[in-house]
Amino acid sequence: MTPESPLTRPRSTVRIQDILIALIFGALVILAHDAREGSLLAGLAFMQLVEGRATWLDTRWGRATSILLQLLICYLILASPRESPNGEKYFPLASEYYTVLLLPVVSTATYLGVAGTVATSLATIAAYLSFLLPTYIDYSHGDYLDPDAIHTLVVRCLLLAVCALMVNSLGEARRTESARYKKTAEQLAVANKNLIDAEAAVRRSERLAALGQLSAGLAHELRNPLGSIRGSAEMLVRSTAKEGAVTRELAQIISDEVDRTNSLVTRFLDFARPLEPRRETTDVTSVIDRAAKHARVAIITNYSPDVPPLEIDPTLMEQVFINLLTNAAQASAADAPITVATRVVKDEAEIFIVDRGCGIPADKIETIFNPFVTTKQNGVGLGLAIVAKIIDGHGGRMAVESEPGKGSTFRIYLPIPK
């Protein structure tokens, strides 16, 4: 089993370090000189145990509040007056608890940068040196520090600063490593999403290939009998020209239905035929405008000047936009606006068509580009399949967003020539 990373370990997990910290501080509370001192030590223990666990500490103000509370508790511990058994006067500077001042400094150095570490170190040293004030030393009675005491005091302050900077260096390395792991995790998430999309595209391509072969075979088999049926219907119309209107009407229905079926067969062949785009350097906005004109659809445009000319087949892409604009118009009310916009997204040109129509049912949104999937009552379900095939042939991709009753957005992504 792979060891659990500290970056992925849940915050609620009890670590062995937490148990040891609790035991050590418990012993310090027991050894405290009085209840007040014990309470302060217990509060300091609590601050250490919640360090890195409470979410509010992850904010800048939360971290600053935690450090100030730790520094205040440490100061109160050193300043706690106590009576000596032999009657000697208590000096906070000589307290056995002076090392607790390292805790707020180490906390700052671990989570904050050099500036925060230096500021906290100076504040801690200032708090420690504040015990030189007359409040704690009665200079009127000759209570002065000898040279050895001053030397010890300076050494303690310098060592505190050294510890802070050393811990900050280690903390900086840890933060850099954490940022690197986070970036790697984000890249893996993007790669995983792209892999899922690629797998879906491969499955769709396999389905399209199989259906394309089936459609091609079926279309060729249907065309011959359709030709015979149409020819027979035309002969029937001519031979019954002098007879009743009902016979002529029925013969015309046969002819019309043959034409409709033949059109459907042609679309099957278009879908099954191998796609070889004839690429030209083309302004895609001109193709969109031409498609809107041919489809007789009024559009609102928002073209970005940053989109360069693309290597596309103008005829095939016009067919794509005619299909999408026609679908948008059929799904929308007569006065509902249809918007077409372009923009650059990384190394791709994005074209999106937005309508305010009836939308696509949620159970069909994932399969809308598959053959024979349609939301129209009389639709065949090949239009969007052919559109997706054309876009795939250009090395692009498609996406759709829709909410029933509010409209749909079809997005086309085409590669930008380098």
Q: Would residue 150 count as lying in a domain? A: no
pLDDT at 240 (0 to 100): 65
Share of the chain above pLDDT 70, in %: 79
pLDDT at 343 (0 to 100): 94
Residues 250 and 361 in one domain: no
CATH number at residue 402: 3.30.565.10
Q: What is the CA radius of gyration of the chain?
A: 40
Residues 230 and 307 in one domain: no
Q: What is the pLDDT of residues 402-415, one digit of tens each?
A: 888 888 999 999 99
pLDDT at 283 (0 to 100): 94
Residues 284 and 408 in one domain: yes
The pLDDT-based confidence of 311 (bands split at 50, 70, 90) is very high
Task: Average the pLDDT over each of 11-20, 221-230, 263-272, 371-380 and give the range with the smallest value.
Answer: 371-380
**With 70 as the cut, is the pLDDT of residue 353 above it?**
yes
Residues 6+ apart with CB under 8 A from 49: 18, 21, 22
Q: Would residue 259 count as lying in a domain? A: yes
Q: Would residue 170 count as lying in a domain? A: no
CB 140 within 8 A of CB 84: no
From the list 340, 344, 234, 329, the residue with the least C-alpha distance to 287 is 340
**With 60 as the cut, is the pLDDT of residue 350 above it?**
yes
CB 317 within 8 A of CB 390: yes
CB 386 within 8 A of CB 286: no
Cα 34 from chain centroid?
54
Residues 320 and 255 in one domain: no
Q: Would residue 159 count as lying in a domain? A: no
Q: Taking the complete model, does pTM exceed 0.75, yes or no?
A: no
Count of domains for the chain: 3
Q: Would residue 112 count as lying in a domain? A: yes
Sole residue written with tokens 């086309």: 412
Task: Average the pLDDT over each of 109-123, 194-208, 213-227 and give the range with the smallest value.
Answer: 213-227
Q: What is the pLDDT of residues 192-210, one digit of tens each?
A: 888 887 887 777 667 666 6
Residue type, 408: S
Residues 259 and 288 in one domain: no
CB 32 within 8 A of CB 38: yes
Task: Average the pLDDT over each of 153-162, 185-194, 249-258 and give the range with the smallest value.
Answer: 249-258
User: Which residue range is the domain that position 104 belongs to?
Assistant: 16-144
Residues 296 and 207 in one domain: no
Residues 200 and 98 in one domain: no
Sort strands 310-312 and 300-302 into parallel, antiparallel or unpaired: unpaired
